[in-house]
Amino acid sequence: MKFAMIGAGAMGLRYGILLQEAGNDVTFIDTWQPHIDKIHEQGGVYVMRDHKDRHLTKIKLETPETFDGHPDMFIFFTKQMQLQDYLDRCQHFFHKDQYAFTAMNGMGHIEKLQKYFADDKIIGATALIATVLPGPGEVDFMGKRGAGKMNMCPLNEKPDATCKELFNQLQKAKMNPTLTDDFTGTLMTKVIFNSVINTICTMFELPMGEFGNFPGAYQMGRQLIDEAYDICARAGIKLVSSRDEEMAALDHNTRIDMPLHYPSMYQDMTKDRPTEVDYINGYIAQLGRKYHYEASTHLFVTQAVHLAEFHRQNL
Ligand code: NAD
């Protein structure tokens, strides 16, 4: 398939390079000038796996202003707050026959994509795949080849031939995809998962295993999970996992799968970039308000993360 990755950051590079290695035609589109300059200077991106085996991988890199291709599918991997700017700058090469796929964290991106792509051309996903961008021109794929997994579902919940072909290519790229049948439930399940780990590890600046091993982790996580699940029940959202399954997944992910990993929200905060908390805990609280439910814990931790950002800016 022919892909254009919108956003060549940590996840854009991971998906794009693995799809390229699986035999697809991939072009990367980015706007961060130091990253673009470094990739051109080096003749590619330095790729590592768990900080080791640093090697140069050639990629095709364009900006929204220089790209003039016609891919089958755009893959969006920007941060939530960057997406509208990318859409504004890229809209001149979007066409009706093309698909939009994304596994961004948080909520708010789908409504934005719907302004440019028809509902039957949008495929949403969630990824439990950790990747770090240590600096311009280099990326670190955390975990062994084939580590991590993802869920995906078309917005209209009717997988067509292109969606199935994407699934096959992601399988070939060893992203371990599962096709689910409930779009909102799939995305919200991950939002809720992130609303615990990303948020708490970011405000306390902890690797995930340290939170997982804290004796109060269950109680803290359960309070956030219960609020979010109560809201989803009111909103009629069918989540992929039960509350207990979500708690077990949190425990496994933090203590066993990725104990040394810092979530991407932490990485943003420590690089003085804004975090996605308003699109995660903030989104859950906003959804609660719509259904007359005050998500006081999510509201509190949203501000606690903003306080941590504010504190760092004043250091
Ligand atoms: P990223 O920050 O690495 O890249 C996103 C964009 O920001 C790219 O265009 C990149 O070039 C640019 N960028 C990166 N560092 C920058 C800097 N210091 N200054 C200015 N621009 C910079 O983002 P990502 O980790 O690829 O995340 C994309 C989406 O995927 C987000 O919604 C994220 O939550 C989600 N996600 C990330 C991971 C992960 O492990 N990284 C896992 C699952 C989901």
- The contacts of residue 52 (CB under 8 Å, 6+ apart) are none
Mean pLDDT of 232-248: 97
Mutate to test the pocket of ligand 1, among 133, 176, 267 (most ligand atoms within 8 A of CB): 133
109 in ligand 1 pocket by Cβ < 6 Å?
Answer: no
Mutate to test the pocket of ligand 1, among 5, 11, 17 (most ligand atoms within 8 A of CB): 11
Its ipTM equals 0.99
DSSP E strands in the chain: the ranges are: 2-6, 25-29, 45-49, 52-57, 60-62, 73-76, 99-102, 122-128, 131-135, 138-141, 149-154, 177-179
Mean pLDDT of 229-247: 97
Q: What is the pLDDT of the chain when averaged over all its residues?
A: 96
- Calculate how far, in angstroms, residue 264's C-alpha sits from the geometric centre of ligand 1: 7
pLDDT at residue number 314: 87
Q: What is the pTM of this model?
A: 0.97
From the CA atom positions of the chain, what is the Rg in Å?
Answer: 19
- Calculate how far, in angstroms, residue 82's C-alpha sits from the geometric centre of ligand 1: 9
What percentage of the chain carries pLDDT values higher than 70?
A: 100
pLDDT at residue number 147: 84
Q: Is the dihedral of CA 293, 110, 280, 221 positive or negative?
A: positive
Mutate to test the pocket of ligand 1, among 264, 273, 280, 283 (most ligand atoms within 8 A of CB): 264
pLDDT at residue number 192: 98
Residue 290 pLDDT > 90: yes
86 in ligand 1 pocket by Cβ < 6 Å?
Answer: no
pLDDT digits (tens, 9 = 90+) for 133-147: 999 999 999 988 888
- Calculate how far, in angstroms, residue 78's C-alpha sits from the geometric centre of ligand 1: 6
